[in-house]
Amino acid sequence: MAGWGKIRSVADLPVEGQRVFVRVDFNVPLTPARGVADDGRIKAALPTIKHLIERGARVVLASHLGRPKGKPDPAFSMEPVAARLADLLKQDVLLTDEPVGDGARKVVSDLRAGQVALLENLRWSEGEEANDEQFARGLASYAQIYVNDAFGTAHRAHASTVGMIKYVTGGRGAGFLMIKEVEFLSRLLGEVERPFLAVVGGAKVSDKMAVLENLLGRVSAMLIGGAMANTFLKAQGKAVGKSRVEEDKLALARSFLRKAEERGVNVLLPRDVVVAPALDATSGHVVSVDAIPEGEMALDIGPDTARGFGDEIARARTLFWNGPMGLFESRPFAAGTQAVAQALAANTRCLSVVGGGDSAAAVEQLGLSDKITHISTGGGASLELIEGKELPGVKALEDDAPAPGSEQDGGAA
Ligand code: ADP
Ligand code: MG
């Protein structure tokens, strides 16, 4: 299997018998009792890990977990992750007692072909996020070959995603998950079948404005829901009661709507919404967006809007969805998000890509994951890619540039 451009796939690296450092994204949610609440990210890395085991590599896995503030903290130990991974692989996973140090070195150097070690939480050291040279060299000393399969952190230039790579001399490349993520998300930035819809919701306009801007030149229409729709509604002069609004983004929202109109891109905003007096309300009622009561807030798109969005989604041939249509974690305000997910699942002719932690969780909760072409494991990273940015963790995987003047065919691998 080929990688893309100047980047090699793990399948094309000479990993047999070698110590291979694999940056994975095992930043999973934990239960209060410190179990793994959702092992989706662990499962997503299995194809790369199993491939390396089968080829007799000595596998050194590393990830961050949570925010342990740069020092050892048992609350953020990788221990539950190591246990779950061992279950999934049906073989031992040797957990080191620190990310870098004598204990870790011993575990790694004793590894035999096909064995797997997991370094303790990389963010137990300040060196990880600071991309510290010393820490990066320490990590690099564990392996002859470097593989990155952690798409979820590819938008960060940390020691394990960028800094260490130049010190690993036996080869570098992308894991299968990384390749899949970049391929599907990049596809949306190339020639796609139309209609191409963007469905955008979630908390804030400010998080997603760059994505909206970059998609504006590509999509046939844009459907906007969630709390960010409130800011657009208010920008259009509507009274939105106590709804969450970003007052400082009203001008931006207005200029965005103007640009969309100039380009002839239809932006669909909610026509009706489900409102309630507070975020913790146990029920809501439906009103037109022209009649949002002063003391209430919009917490979901209404049924009329959901139907309209559903009709558009049914006709789409390509679709990118980021951000839930409402406060979907709360049952009375989940129907809009559910309707969008169901319409998307029912459209079997659509290339559908879902990005964003909460939107992905919503699709999974509804049991519709297998009806979506690609669900990204990386929230921030998927957004930055769609914004058109270059991800440092992807860029760093490129082979050293060929010498000036020598035309090299990178795609023939
Ligand atoms: P994603 O993780 O998919 O990118 P975001 O993090 O941007 O999505 O937004 C998800 C959050 O936005 C959820 O917690 C959801 O409850 C909240 N949300 C969506 N719509 C509303 C709304 N109308 N009012 C308040 N919160 C909302
Ligand atoms: Mg989120």
The answer to whether residue 393 sits within a structural domain is no
**H or E element at residue 223:** strand 221-224
> What is the distance, to the nearest Å, from the Cα of residue 412 to the centroid of all Cα atoms in its chain?
29
| 160 and 222 part of one domain | no
Q: Whose alpha carbon is nearest atom 10 of ligand 1?
A: 202
Q: What is the pLDDT along the chain (413 residues), one digit of tens a residue?
A: 445 678 999 999 999 999 999 999 999 999 999 999 989 899 999 999 999 999 999 999 999 999 999 999 999 999 999 999 999 999 999 999 999 999 999 999 999 999 999 999 999 999 999 999 999 999 999 999 999 999 999 999 999 999 999 999 999 999 999 999 999 999 999 999 999 999 999 998 988 999 999 999 999 999 999 999 999 999 999 999 999 999 999 999 999 999 999 999 999 999 999 999 999 999 999 999 999 999 999 999 999 999 999 999 999 999 999 999 999 999 999 999 999 999 999 999 999 999 988 999 899 889 999 999 999 988 889 999 999 899 999 999 997 644 343 344 333 33
The domain tally of the chain equals 2
Q: How far is the CA of 231 from the centre of ligand 1 (A)?
A: 13
Identify the domain boundary among 126, 145, 179.
Answer: 179
Identify the domain boundary among 126, 152, 179.
Answer: 179
| 34 and 79 part of one domain | yes
| 217 and 366 part of one domain | yes
Closest ligand to C-alpha of residue 360 is 1
| 133 and 112 part of one domain | yes
CATH value at residue 200: 3.40.50.1260
Identify the domain boundary among 179, 201, 235.
Answer: 179
Query: Other CB atoms closer than 10 Å to residue 279's CB: what's the count?
Result: 12
Which candidate, 274, 375, 273, places its Cα nearest to that of 321? 375
The answer to whether residue 409 sits within a structural domain is no
Is 125 in contact with 100 (CB distance < 8 Å)? yes
Q: Whose alpha carbon is nearest atom 15 of ligand 1?
A: 327
| 139 and 230 part of one domain | no
| 156 and 37 part of one domain | yes
The answer to whether residue 387 sits within a structural domain is no
Q: How far is the CA of 359 from the centre of ligand 1 (A)?
A: 8
The answer to whether residue 356 sits within a structural domain is yes
The answer to whether residue 43 sits within a structural domain is yes
| 306 and 238 part of one domain | yes
Peptide bond into 99 cis (omega under 30): no
| 170 and 194 part of one domain | no
The answer to whether residue 408 sits within a structural domain is no
Distance CA 136, CA 165 (A): 8
| 143 and 256 part of one domain | no
| 217 and 141 part of one domain | no
Beta partners for 198? Answer: 222, 320
Stated length of the chain: 413
The answer to whether residue 330 sits within a structural domain is yes
Residues 6+ apart with CB under 8 A from 66: 27, 30, 75, 76, 121, 123
CA–CA distance from 80 to each of 22, 33, 67, 83, 269 (Å)?
A: 19, 10, 16, 5, 43
The answer to whether residue 151 sits within a structural domain is yes
Beta partners for 274? Answer: 286, 300
| 115 and 213 part of one domain | no
Catalytically active residues, by annotation = 41, 204, 357, 380
Domain span at 168 = 4-179
| 158 and 208 part of one domain | no
- Residues having CB closer than 6 A to ligand 1 are 201-203, 207, 226-227, 244, 298-299, 322-324, 326-329, 356-359, 379
